[in-house]
Structure formats: C-alpha cells, structure tokens
Structure 1
C-alpha cells in the first residue's frame, strides 16, 4: 500500500484475522475503510467496498470515483460503471479473495449500508457473518503513535481555544458569541469545528444543550464542551466556571464532579473493564447524594470518529487495552439551576491513563 501506516495496519488486520479464524473482512465507505486504507470515497447508493482476505485486498469501486480514490491507495480496484452494474466486478473481487467456498467466516462493517451488506452475503455461499468488534474495531481502538500525535495536537489546540473563550466572557454576550470565538480560533490555526456546546446558567443542566441566544449575566454558571478536528482527528473537552462570585452549592457540586473524574482516571488501567471505570465515577457522585443527577455514561471512545468504541458504561464488560482512547466525563445536572461536567480524553498506557489536554480542570472564574 502507498502509505506505511496503512501497510502496517493491513498486516495487523491479517494477523488478527488468523487469530479469530476470519476468512474475509468487508468494509464499506466508513471510518473503518479510512483507517485501513486512507480511502474516503463519496458514499451514495453505488456499492463501494474494501475486501481483505489472507491472499488479496482490493476495492469494488465505481469507475467515476476511481481516479480520486487512486490518490490514496495502490490496492487493486475492481471497477464497474453505471451502464454495466456491480455484479460482475463483485464476483471477480470475491474470486480474487478466494471467497467462493461455502461457510466462510466473514466480518461485515456494521456501519455499511444494508443493501451493500446484503449484496455481498447474497453473492456468497452460506457465509457465517459477524461485525468488526474483534478485528478492525479492536485494532482501531488501540491507537498507534501517529494517531496519538494527531490527537494530542488537536487537544492542545482545543486547550488554547477554550482558554481564550473563558477569558473573553463579558456581560451581555450570547452563547453563540462564545461559540464564534472558539470556531474562529480553530479556523485561524488550521482546524475545523467538530462540535460546540455553550451553556449559560440553567442551560448547563441539559447535557446536550443546543448553543443559542441566552445572554450572560453576573453570577451565572458557564459550561463549554467543544472540540475541533485537526489533521483528520478530533478533540473533545468540557470545562466549567462561574461568571461572578460562585454560589456555595456550585462549588460543592464542582468538587464532587472533580473527585469523580479523579476516581475514574485512577481506575483506568489495561485489563480493567469499562464498567469498572463507570462505577468509580458513579459511586463517587452517588456517595455525595447526587446519583440521580448523573444522567449519562461516563465516557466514549475517540479516534477518527468523535464517538467510537470503547464506550465507558455501567453495562460494558469490554476489557480495556493499552492504546485505547476514551473520554471520562461525569456530570451533575440540577434542573433550572446549573450543570457541571468535567471531561478529559485519556489514552491508556501500561501504567495507567495519560490525559491529552493540558488545561487544568480548576473552576474558571470571570
């Protein structure tokens, strides 16, 4: 393959396929395809797939997209045009992958269009199919050095944007005004906005508040949850503060959420189940009397996608591995008053969790 990261990932995938007795992996236009090959084709109703077996890797590719996709990979294309349809090209690709026998073990991209997946299954002889959890998904969840470097750079840029946003707070400005400050910082520094939540006052009690026209007044809580995308990888962080003199109740809630973050970070080690990290955060908040006000999971994985496995939930038995990247973001939400959420993105090292952000979690004051 043209680029060394993708060649290495293909080797690792084939090794994992051998370990899991997988005969073939089939990916559609998705983050999985982008991670494995660097190809990010236009996704529409025309079937596009990357198929990998031990003896072959190649694309089913609409002819009108081939030249653009060729810039990212030197893997072979089985092209088809609108006037002939994809069936012959698909059959040729399956033959090259030695995928014509009955009962083969096939991994399908769970994010692929259903009609693409069914087209592959219908063209095969009684395949046994599953999704990517123990192959591509598992490998994607363990970030390599290049991915770490990209994620770290995105988070350092995000740090600077959030610092600027809090330092720019003025009475009378709207949530949209703060969002504009963040987005301009991203753009000036070569990044694009990924998402932004700015919640003033009681709006912070909605975990997924839509940034709006609420105006900032004295003695009001401020929550900023935001991220940018730099060199293909996103950042994600939440910081909270108070515009004016914070109420004692806010300070108390802030301390509880900070203790929950610390507990979850301390629990984050290779070999620990995701549910144990969630429990560390949730037990801290419950012990302080705010259990019902912690409304969501403790975290989500982050990589090419802003939300991807592993998910840090109370019901997840996934055993975490070195290289996993995920958020730790407990929160307490008091309706009609305020919300406090503090979020870090961590990468698991052999000795524990490394936090990607370098911005302190201390209460921001204006």
Structure 2
C-alpha cells in the first residue's frame, strides 16, 4: 500500500535490513502507530488479536474474520483469519509457519500489543527471546521522509491556528475549560478530532500536566497553553504562554530564562550529538539561573504518528541525533503556588541544525 513516497513492500524491505542488522528473525506489529507506518493504515485496536508478522523471507497477517475484508483492502499480504468461537491459536500457528518462524527465533514485538494477544503469540512461537519493535520499526520511524515532514508541517499550521483561537478568546473571568473549548473548536474546524488541550492559569501552571478545570482566569495570571492533535494521522504539539494584564511578579525574568534554555537546546541539537547533550544544554541554563530544582521533566520527545515517540531528550539518553528526526524542545520552570512557564516547539533536525515547525513566536501574549 502506498504510504508517503514508500509502498508497504519498500518499508518491509527496509525493515528486513534492520532486522538483519539487529539479529531479529520476526517482527510482530499490533494495531497502532508501528502498523500504520508499515501499511499506511491500521484497524481499530480491540480485544481481538491482530498482528502483521514480518519474517526474514515472508510476511503474513493474523486478523479476526470480522476485520478481514478491511485488512485485505489495505495489506497485500496473506491473511490468516480466525473466528470468535475458535480463537486465534490456529491462525497464529499457520501464519508463523508461513513466515518460517519457530522456536529459537528472536522476536521484535510491538510494545503496545495487548498482553493477552502477546502471550498467545509467544506461546504459538515457542520462543521467549523477545525484544520490542521500538528497536526495529521504531528506529525506522524516527527518521522522517519528506512526505512525513510535509504532513507534520501541515499539522503544526493547524495547531498554530488553534492556539491563536484560544488566545483571541481568552479574557479574565473565563474558565480554563472555556479557553480549551475555543481551541478544540478550531481544531475541529480544521478536521482534527482527538485533540488535547492543557490550559493552566495562575498557580495551576506550576503543575506540568495540570488537568484543565473550572478555575476562572484572573487579572495578573500567567497562563500555560499546551495543545496538539492529529491531522491525517500526524501529530502536533506546542506550548505557549499568555499573561492577563501585567502578569505575576517576576514573570519576565523567568520567561527570559526559559527562552534562553530553548535557544541553548536549539544550538546543541546537531546531527551526531547525543540526545542527552541537548537536555544538558537546556538544563544548564536553568540551573545557572538558580531554578534547576524547578525544571522537573525531560527537555523533549519525538513526534510523528504519535505525539510522544522516540527520540527522547533526557539527561541519560545516549540516542545519537540524525537528520530527519522530529522532536520537541520544551524546557520549563514551575514555581509552586505562583506560576509555571513552558515554551515548546517541534523541530525537524536538518544537516545544519533544527528547523521549527510552528510559525508563532515564543514571546508571551499579553491579554488586556
């Protein structure tokens, strides 16, 4: 099936190269982002065991009979079907045999597979030599092709529009939830369902993963707005700041420190650099300013078909950054009882450094 500039056959060929390099005999993908990357489609994940199995020489699909027609329309692979009254055991065994897989083979298993389906597969394979598909398919997904990057740019543009809709609607007295609704409405107008929005006003901003609630925004608040959503399956994610009136005391100083941390991380992000070096660059700025204990999360995460995927920019990540990787840079400072500031951009890593997807500046928006 076509997916970007690649067919499923081409992606399977690339996957087999990675399998050979990593001494993997079989890859098993469940419905989700890994399968979508391979086929350009995946069925809705439910309790019925479904796998795309890729061996060194052959590939097959295990699918419940109720989903078989849909699967055949999207995957030009042998389908081994099973009915509810029979269970997936025989279909799994037949598919594994078709792939030339058996006991002693090293399996790369989709880390998002349901435990019951995964256990059934392991029993049918008769092997416990198992790693995760993050090491095979995940490694390939981490490097985006030109079509994927174009899709992520389009998704980022919709996120920009949603952020502006929230800022334009924001007024003192509005609840966090009402601002989030304005953002979700703009996402929906642009064809995005399943968007997420965090709106955290005043002291709520000191909680990095605050659950948007009914607190009314007040004059003097700093407001964290973190949002994103999938456009044609490709995610977006960004965080910007607003202040109502003059904002809280000390806001400008802290915002400037976080912005300096963003710029330091951008300068450190280069092909061949370890992800932990980017985290260290951002963290070093914040620690030097005396706010190290208030930067309580990693500097970034990858983004693509999922909003959080490799690479992860943590203090310990040895992942070597490569051109085509797409990830967030999002340092923050969170002051309990006062306010929080996070500035987040998604970047595409190019040969000469990162290029930001959003067209919106990171400067704070003043309301009123």
Partner of 1:194: 195
Gaps of 5+ in 2: none
Higher mean displacement: 333-342 or 35-44: 35-44
Indicate conservation of the 8 Å contact 2:29/2:133, yes or no. no
Give the Cα separation in 2 of the matches to 1:7 and 1:145.
18
Q: What residue is the counterpart of 1:77 in the other structure?
A: 79
> How far did 1:307 drift?
1.0
Q: 1:61: how far off?
A: 0.8
Q: CA, structure 1 residues 337+125, in 2 after alignment: closer, same or farther (shift >3 Å)?
A: closer
Alpha-carbon offset, residue 357 of structure 1: 0.7
Q: Does 1:310 align with 2:306?
A: no
Match of residue 34 from structure 1: 36
> For residues 80 and 256 of structure 1, what CA distance do their matches in structure 2 show?
58
| Partner Cα distance (1:125, 1:183) in 2 | 47
Question: 2 CA distance for matches of 1:214 and 1:42?
Answer: 36
1:183 corresponds to = 184
Q: Which runs of 5+ in 1 are unaligned?
A: none
Counterpart of 1:364 in structure 2 is 365
**SS of the residue aligned with 2:133?**
coil
> What CA distance in whole angstroms lies between the structure 2 residues aligned with 1:168 and 1:8?
47
1:76, CA displacement in angstroms?
1.8
Alignment match, 1:23 = 25
Checking the alignment, whether the CA contact within 8 Å between 1:300 and 1:307 is kept in structure 2 is yes
1:68 deviates by 2.2
Separation of aligned partners in 2, 1:49 and 1:165: 41
Equivalences for residues 1-366 of structure 1 within 5 A:
1=1, 4-100=6-102, 102-126=103-127, 128-247=129-248, 249-366=250-367
Name the SS of the counterpart of 1:318 in structure 2.
coil
Task: Summarize the Cα distance change of 1:237–1:12 in structure 2 as closer, same or farther, 3 Å threshold.
Answer: same
Distance in 1 of aligned mates of 2:195 and 2:303:
12
Shift of residue 285, structure 1, vs aligned partner: 0.2
CA distance in 1, matches of 2:126, 2:291: 55
Whether the aligned pair in 2 keeps the contact of 1:2 and 1:72 (CA below 8 Å) is: no
What is the deviation of 1:316? 1.3
* TM-aligned CA deviation for residue 261 of structure 1: 0.5
161-170 or 237-246, which deviates more: 161-170
Contact 2:93-2:125 at 8 Å conserved across structures = no
The alignment partner of 1:91 has SS state of helix
User: Structure 1 residue 125: deviation in Å?
Assistant: 4.3
The answer on whether the counterparts of 1:274 and 1:312 sit within 8 Å (CA) in structure 2 is yes
Deviation at 1:79, TM superposition (A): 0.9
CA distance in 2, matches of 1:136, 1:276: 25
Runs of 4+ residues over 3 Å off in structure 1? 1-5
Residues 27, 55 of structure 2: 8 Å contact kept: yes
Please give the per-residue CA displacement for 1:50-73, whole angstroms capped at 9, x wherever unaligned: 100132111011111111223322
Give distance in 1, aligned partners of 2:10 and 2:341. 42
Alpha-carbon contact 2:110-2:134 (below 8 Å) kept: no
CA RMSD of aligned residues (A): 1.6
User: What is the aligned length?
Assistant: 365
- The alpha-carbon deviation at position 119 of structure 1 amounts to 2.0
- Alpha-carbon offset, residue 237 of structure 1: 0.4
SS in 1 for 2:217: coil
Give me the whole-angstrom Cα distance separating, in 2, the residues matched to 1:235 and 1:5. 24
Aligned equivalents of 1:87 and 1:217: distance in 2? 59
Cα-to-partner distance string for 1:162-204 (whole Å, 9 max, x where unaligned): 1222122222111111111111111112122421011111111
Contact 2:2 2:40 survives alignment (8 Å): no
Query: Per the alignment, do residues 225 and 142 of structure 1 end up closer, same or farther by CA in structure 2, a change over 3 Å counting?
Result: same
Cα deviation, 1:112-149, whole Å, max 9, x if unaligned, reads 12222222222234453211233111001111222111
